[in-house]
Each structure stands twice: as C-alpha cells, then as structure tokens.
Structure 1
Amino acid sequence: MDDYLLKATGYNGGDVRAYAIRTTNTVEEARKRQDTWATASAALGRTITITTMLGAMLKGEDKLTVKVEGNGPMGAIIADANAKGQVRGYCINSHVDFETNEQGKLDVKRAVGTEGTLSIVKDLGLKTNFTGQVPIISGEISEDFTYYLANSEQVPSAVGAGVLVNPDHSILAAGGFIVQMMPDASEDTITKIEASIAEIPPISTMIQHGKTPEEILDAIIGADHLKIHEKSPVEFSCPCSKERLETAIQGLGNEEIDAMIREDHGATASCHFCNETYSFTINELKALKTH
C-alpha cells in the first residue's frame, strides 16, 4: 500500500480540521538511509510523520524545518517537509535502542530526552522566516507537538503518531493524525472530539491492526460528521544533487577551492538527510573556480 495523507474537516462545515496519514514506506526509506536502530527509528519516524502533516498545512512552494533537540542519546532530530507531501529527516545518533518501557513500547522518551527544545522554522517565501520554539515536555514526540501547536501557534490540537518496528528492524507500520479545533467550534463539538480521542486505542495499535487514514479519522470524528477534501501521496524525497553542491563549492571562493585541491586532492561531501555521497576530482574543482 502506498503512503498517503488525508485533509478533512468535521462538524458544521469546519469546526474541526483534521489530517491523517500513512507513512510506512516513507519511514522505512529514512530508516534504511540513516541505518537507525529500533528506538531511533520510532523517534525519527514519529517526527517525520508529524512534520509531513504540518507540511500539508502549507501552500505552494512553502516549506518548514522541524528540530527536536532533547538531552537524550539520539541528539537532535531534524526533518523538513513541503506542501507537496515530500519529507526527509535524520538524527545525529541513529544507533540508539533500549529494552521496551513499562508499557511494552519502544522507549522513545529515553532516546529523545525529557529536556530540550522543539523548534519549527517556516519558509513562506517572505523576507524573514517564521520561527516558533517551545520546551520539550515529554520526549514522546506527539505530546511535544501538541504542546507546540497550542502554545506557539495558539491552535488547540491533538497529535498522534506511531511507528512499529519488525524484529529485523524494518518498519512494520507508521502513521498518525492531527485534529485541530477551529475558533468557532462549539463546546459540544470539543467535548465529543476529546471523548473520541480518549476512547480510541493508541495510534500504534490502530496502525498495527491495519487501520487506514480514513478509518482513523472515522474513529475520531465519526463518518456522519467527516468530510474528506483531499487525498495526496507522501514520499521521502531529498533534493540534494551534485549540481547543488557545485554551486555551494563555488560560493566558497577560489582560495577555499585551491585549498581543497592542494590539501585533499579533491573533495567529498555527504548529504545528512539521504546519505548520498558526492565526489569531486581535482579537475572538477578547477572547473568550479571563477576567473
């Protein structure tokens, strides 16, 4: 099954705005490229899943970058996404794994840490980017994004993301939801949504049982109150290329390029996000010098 995202509204033509997503293949691609161990896969996968849904709230060529920087052994988790369903992500230390926690779940909190910051930078094509930042409140990722949306963007939201990992460390299932209350939402609607979210199984359990994004939203909002507006594909995508790196190297100036030639007899660079490696010979570097 391909990964995809749903945009929907609910109740009275829009008291509720909702997103649900399947990211199994996307998170698996990130896992393979980053060589993440199980707990790190869960933390990175949750971050990628939620970042993709936040990207779906953008328009046109807008994009955003998320950074979860806790005091756990994973170090920072960075992900960016655009309005087209394209996302990528990496973490500083991908080889993090622990025994399951008291609930029998992967111990994401321990990997991420319970102190630090969650920050989001939005590039909306303006002169300056929008930046929001909040403290990490749990390290479980979903709760931290819930706190961010309520406090930095003043949008009461419920955020859920889950990642299940196979014994061979491949991704069994990944997905999530964001449900947001609009300013005109009635108290009755808010109460019903809160009750539904409290009653549904954990998102990882729903994913494990093969629930689709449609079924996740049905469980939260109810088919009678739900209107799906858009279904769009989701994928791991990295725009890095040798041509982009050529431009970056040119920007360093002739002196720096000469130093690469003299000291390193060439240049090699790797992309943090996709781990693709690009090499430049002495002649290629010479060709990049501006005359």
Structure 2
Amino acid sequence: MDKLIKSIATSGFFRAYVLDSTETVKEAQEKHQTLSSSTVALGRTLIANQILAANQKGDSKVTVKVIGDSSFGHIISVADTKGNIKGYIQNPGVDVKKTATNEIIVGPFMGKGQFVVITDYGTGSPYTSSTPLISGEIGEDLAYYLTESEQTPSAVGLNVLLDDKDKVQVAGGFMLQVLPGAPDEEIARYENRIQKMPAISALLEADQPIDALLKAIYGEESYKILSQENWHFACDCSRERFEAALKTLGQVELQQMKEEDHGAEITCQFCGQKYQFNEKDLEEMIHDKAQ
C-alpha cells in the first residue's frame, strides 16, 4: 500500500506533501497494459490526483481530467479522501523514447488542452475549475493549476521510473506550498533549495524515498509530520452499476442487442473488469420495461 505524508515547516510558512505511489501506478499499468510513455503519463496523473484529493477535507471526491489533443487523448482519474484512486488513459499504446538517452517522452504527446479538476463535496453540486496545459508533463501543469486556480504558490515534482523492461520501478513525488505571511527571504531560501534538488527519479530510487524527498525539500530546517495516509488503486465498478446503465436503454435497443449480439459485454474503463449479460438478462430488462 502506498503512502502520503503531510508535513509543515516549524515556522508555519510552508507545507509539503510527499508520496510513494509505486504500487498504485504498478496496478494501473497492469490493468491497462500501458506502454512506456502512456504508463508515465497515466502514473503522473494519478499522483497529481492523490495530491489534490489529500488536500480536501471530509468525504469528498476529486476527478482530474488531463484533456489533450495529441496522441494520449484524455487521461481521467478519480480519487476520494479515503485513499482510493482509479484512472485510465484513452491511448495506452504510446511508447516513445529519446534515442541517445532512452528517456521516455511525455509532454509532446499530450498536446494542447486543459487541466480540469472537478471536486464533489457530496452536496449534489460539484465544483469545476481548469487551467490550460502549459507543458503536458503533468507535474508542471498541476503546479500551474494550484498557483492560478487555487491562488496558492506551489512547486510540484512527480515522476514514474521504469525498469529496463518498461515496468514500473518506482513512482511518487512532492508538492510544496507557500502559506500566507511567509517572509520573502524564507521563500527565496526554499526556492533555491527546490531549484538545486536532485532529480525526482533519483530521490525516488533512494532506499527511503519519503525521507529523501523530505530532506530535499526542508534541508536542515525543522518541520513536523502532520499525518500519514495510505493509498491504493481501487475501482468501485460493479455488475449492478452497469446493469442500471443498460436499463436506461430503450426496449428497441435492448431487443436489438439480444437478437444481434445474443447478450452484452461491458468493460469498465477504469479497471478493465468485464461484465457479461446474457440473453436471459436482457429479456428480463425488456420485460420490466414492458410492465
């Protein structure tokens, strides 16, 4: 199970979240059979959504939509405040690396578009906000969203590191935010440290990635841990939910499905689970509609 640590500088002027999201991204890669670039793009989106959901209180749900016009298509993730997250990418088959360095390419395949965040507080009126994609690298797009939409200056670093077989090795990242009243000299000191910090991939490869991330953020400055949260990939799909969706179809559509396809198979986009409905199931739905 993955871990997210919330911390705050002793001064009270900075807070940081650090994450080890390795198991979540591994599960997503396995369920969607993503290739290298798609794995990294989907993984970064999941990590970004973990950060946003962890920033909420109460029983809330956060949906992140990274809507691009290039090869990846849309990337959708849904997370709640109980540590559950799911997600998918429209095109799981993007697999491009730089020839010289074998570095996985992500940003150019996101294209132009929007970083959309939908927060559902359970009141029946979800709140939606968005900012333009500035790079398609997801981490930079999240930082821009937090700074522009939520008016909280933020630094974000997140990544997914693959092994030589393009399987997820480690995944995670951090978010650092400036809180009201922070003196300019302290902001400059943190900015300098963030600019000089090692690559996120290197920090994630450390024996204790959470500790390595905290050390890189705070240096020798004191901080305290506020909380620790556990996270995992979990989909809330069910046969009942998809059956309810089928029942919204008209009698004619259900009859055609029964006669031409002899049943129905529905695949959950978020986890790949398949649900089968045979001719008898469809006949019962048709009969119910006729009553």
TM-score by length of 2: 0.93
Letter in 2 for 1:36: T
1:190 maps to which of 187, 192, 195? 187
- Which residue in the other structure is 2:16 paired with? 18
- Which residue in the other structure is 1:93 paired with? 91
Q: Aligned-pair distance for 1:105?
A: 2.6
Q: Aligned-pair distance for 1:8?
A: 1.3
- Which residue in the other structure is 1:70 paired with? 68
Whether the 8 Å contact between 2:65 and 2:77 is mirrored in structure 1 is yes
- Which residue in the other structure is 2:275 paired with? 278
Residues 88 and 101 from structure 1, CA distance in 2 versus in 1: closer, same or farther, beyond 3 angstroms? farther
The answer on 1:232 being equivalent to 2:229 is: yes
1:170 maps to which of 164, 167, 170? 167
Give the 5 Å matches for 1:1-291. 2-12=1-11, 14-100=12-98, 105-113=103-111, 115-222=112-219, 224-288=221-285, 289-290=288-289, 291=291
Gaps (5+ residues) in structure 2?
none
Whether the 8 Å contact between 1:218 and 1:226 is mirrored in structure 2 is no
Gaps (5+ residues) in structure 1?
none
- Cα distance between partner residues in 2 of 1:286 and 1:59: 45
Identity %: 38
Q: Aligned-pair distance for 1:261?
A: 2.0
Letter in 1 for 2:125: T
Whether the 8 Å contact between 1:66 and 1:78 is mirrored in structure 2 is yes
Instruction: Name the SS of the counterpart of 2:96 in structure 1.
Output: coil
Residues 253 and 17 from structure 1, CA distance in 2 versus in 1: closer, same or farther, beyond 3 angstroms? farther
Q: Aligned-pair distance for 1:136?
A: 0.8
Instruction: Name the SS of the counterpart of 1:168 in structure 2.
Output: coil
Whether the 8 Å contact between 1:21 and 1:177 is mirrored in structure 2 is yes
Whether the 8 Å contact between 2:65 and 2:115 is mirrored in structure 1 is yes
Instruction: Name the SS of the counterpart of 2:63 in structure 1.
Output: strand
- Cα distance between partner residues in 1 of 2:252 and 2:210: 53
Give the RMSD, CA atoms, in angstroms: 1.8
Instruction: Name the SS of the counterpart of 1:252 in structure 2.
Output: coil
- Cα distance between partner residues in 2 of 1:257 and 1:54: 40
TM-score by length of 1: 0.93
- Cα distance between partner residues in 2 of 1:189 and 1:35: 45
- Cα distance between partner residues in 2 of 1:285 and 1:223: 65
Residues 186 and 102 from structure 1, CA distance in 2 versus in 1: closer, same or farther, beyond 3 angstroms? farther
Residues 104 and 170 from structure 1, CA distance in 2 versus in 1: closer, same or farther, beyond 3 angstroms? closer
User: 223-232 or 143-152: which moved more?
Assistant: 223-232
Whether the 8 Å contact between 1:6 and 1:214 is mirrored in structure 2 is no
Letter in 2 for 1:195: N
- Cα distance between partner residues in 1 of 2:220 and 2:257: 61
User: 151-160 or 280-289: which moved more?
Assistant: 280-289
- Cα distance between partner residues in 2 of 1:185 and 1:107: 36
- Cα distance between partner residues in 2 of 1:219 and 1:279: 50
Letter in 2 for 1:10: A
- Cα distance between partner residues in 2 of 1:209 and 1:105: 19
Whether the 8 Å contact between 1:109 and 1:139 is mirrored in structure 2 is yes
Q: Deviations over 1:32-89 (max 9, x none)?
A: 1111111111111111111111111122321111111223211111111111121111
Letter in 2 for 1:11: T
Whether the 8 Å contact between 1:11 and 1:189 is mirrored in structure 2 is no
In the alignment of these two chains, the number of paired residues is 288
- Cα distance between partner residues in 1 of 2:206 and 2:214: 15
Letter in 1 for 2:160: V
Letter in 2 for 1:65: T
Residues 223 and 270 from structure 1, CA distance in 2 versus in 1: closer, same or farther, beyond 3 angstroms? farther
Residues 55 and 286 from structure 1, CA distance in 2 versus in 1: closer, same or farther, beyond 3 angstroms? same
Whether the 8 Å contact between 1:97 and 1:111 is mirrored in structure 2 is no
